[in-house]
Amino acid sequence: MAKKKTTSTRTPATESKPAGGTAAKQPARRTTAATTSTAVTKTASATAPSQKTFLENKMNQALGLVETKGLLALIEATDAMAKAANVEITKRIDIGGAFCTTVVTGDVGSVRAAVEAGAAAAAQVGELVGSHVIARPSEGLVEAFINK
């Protein structure tokens, strides 16, 4: 009959040399899977980054807007923006009459790169109406147009 593996492990005693030069044996540690997973869970939750809103994190933030005539061009532009830089797709705004806009947020450099890529992609596929980057937008602007 085969031996069963247990969840507890025993590590061999390790030697450490104090300043005096003689080796002292440290006792072996015994850990179980249950205590290890609990420790990992506590560590992961303690070090998880806090979720900040755009307004809390706006010191180096920017808004990028790409407006197209037609949904197909907007989808292509949004895809290009997401692939070109580390930006968050914040909102899609349907203006009416086939005009629609995608809003992205992120650091200023990433948003500039994303908007340039999105504008180029939209112009290839359909009709690009306009594109713009607003670095460090005011709170009133974000509240009035983006968080609506």
Consecutive 10-residue runs of the chain (148 residues): their mean pLDDT?
52 52 54 43 40 55 96 96 96 93 95 97 96 92 79
pLDDT value, residue 142: 81
pLDDT value, residue 97: 93
59 to each of 82, 134, 137, 140, how far by Cα in Å?
22, 13, 9, 15
pLDDT value, residue 108: 95
pTM above 0.75, yes or no: no
Q: Residue 113: which residues within 8 A CB-CB, separation 6 or more?
A: 84, 85
pLDDT value, residue 60: 67
14 to each of 11, 31, 32, 62, 66, how far by Cα in Å?
9, 15, 19, 54, 62
Q: Which domains does the chain have, with CATH numbers?
A: 58-146 (3.30.70.1710)
